[in-house]
Amino acid sequence: MSKPSAILQIPREVRIPAGRVRLEGELSIPKEAAGIVLFAHGSGSSRHSPRNKYVAWKLEEGGMATLLFDLLTLEEEEEDRYTGHFRFDISLLAKRLVDATNWIRNQPEAEGLRIGYFGSSTGAAAALIAAARMEETISVVVSRGGRPDLAGSALALVKAPTLLVVGGLDETVIKLNWDAYSQLHCEKDLKIVEGATHLFEESGALERVAELATEWFLRRFEPRPFIASATR
């Protein structure tokens, strides 16, 4: 995994209200952004995940805004290291993603931007549940090595075009993704990155994920042509 040659903008640190807690995040909005992507990281990870940071950099190079944030507080993360209580609380993670979405919609610099989700591992399930709840608010979803199966009955309610990306050597997760894929009724695709394991640590694997995600997001963030309604 190679770092992009330049970062377009230094991210701004933000604190996102989510019920009784505040979630730490990093917001980057390039000029004339095509849309904004909120990252939902997986179990045991955080906004500092090098994999998600790399994808965020590539999306920014493609002209998109990004919001990397922690789904858990520091205290919750510490507890989760010992108990695993929070990492599979998909309902809580989805609620926090909804809270972050409502927060970004109220930020003046993000006004009018289309919104997408990039979820990894259990965060992919949270992204799909949140997308189902937010209906028309979410324009697109991408899952990297995700567990979309954990979204359960919400899969059938997702309207946003959804891309599932899985490593070719991640056999168990491939099956889980195909099962989830069959339950999605929106525009959808499933891409397998050959030779990649669950974390896409192999040479060129994460770069391929970033390419697929960038193309999927940009295509759905493009302004739709206005078509006047027919009149009688």
Asked whether the predicted pLDDT for residue 104 surpasses 70, the reply is: yes
Residues 61-74 pLDDT 10s: 999 999 999 998 88
Q: What is the average per-residue pLDDT within 211-220?
A: 96
Q: Is there a domain that residue 3 lies in? A: no
| 178 belongs to a structural domain | yes
Q: Is the CA virtual torsion 112, 208, 146, 42 positive or negative? A: negative
Give every CB contact of residue 34 below 8 A, 6+ residues apart in sequence: 62, 63, 64, 114, 217, 218, 221, 222
Mean pLDDT of 189-205: 96
| Per-residue model confidence (pLDDT) at position 227 | 36
Kindly report, residue by residue over 123-164, the tens digit of the pLDDT.
Answer: 999 999 999 999 889 999 999 999 999 999 999 999 999 999
Residue 88 to residue 95: CA distance in whole angstroms: 13
Average pLDDT rounded to a whole number, residues 173-177? 98
Exposure string over 118-144, b if 16+ CB within 10 A, otherwise e: bbbbbbbbbbbbbbbbbeebbbbbbbb
The mean per-residue pLDDT over the stretch 26-34 comes to 92
Domain assignment of residue 95, yes or no: yes
Structural domain includes residue 189 = yes
Which carries the bigger pLDDT value, residue 28 or residue 11? 28
Q: Percent of the chain beyond pLDDT 70?
A: 90
- Of residues 83 and 121, more confidence is placed in 121
97 located within any domain: yes
Q: How many domains does the chain have?
A: 1
Q: Tell me, what's the pLDDT at 225?
A: 40
Question: Is 210 within the bounds of a domain?
Answer: yes
Q: What is the DSSP letter of 22?
A: E
Instruction: Please choose, from the candidates 128, 100, 136, 117, the residue with its C-alpha nearest in 3D space to the C-alpha of residue 22.
Output: 100
C-beta of residue 38 within 8 angstroms of C-beta of residue 217: no
Q: What is the mean pLDDT of residues 199-206?
A: 95
Could you tell me the CATH number of the domain that includes residue 16? 3.40.50.1820
Q: What does the pLDDT read at residue 202?
A: 95
Q: What is the dihedral of CA 21, 26, 30, 32, to 10 degrees?
A: -20
Residue 8 pLDDT greater than 70, yes or no: no
The structure's pTM equals: 0.90
What 8-state DSSP symbol labels residue 13? E
Strand partners, 118: 39, 142
* C-alpha to C-alpha distances, 193 to 4, 10, 122, 175, nearest whole angstrom: 20, 30, 19, 14
**Domain around 74:** 12-221
Residue 5 resides in a domain = no
**Averaged pLDDT, 1-27:** 78
Residue 69 lies in a domain: yes
Task: With a cut of 50, say whether residue 19 has pLDDT above it.
Answer: yes
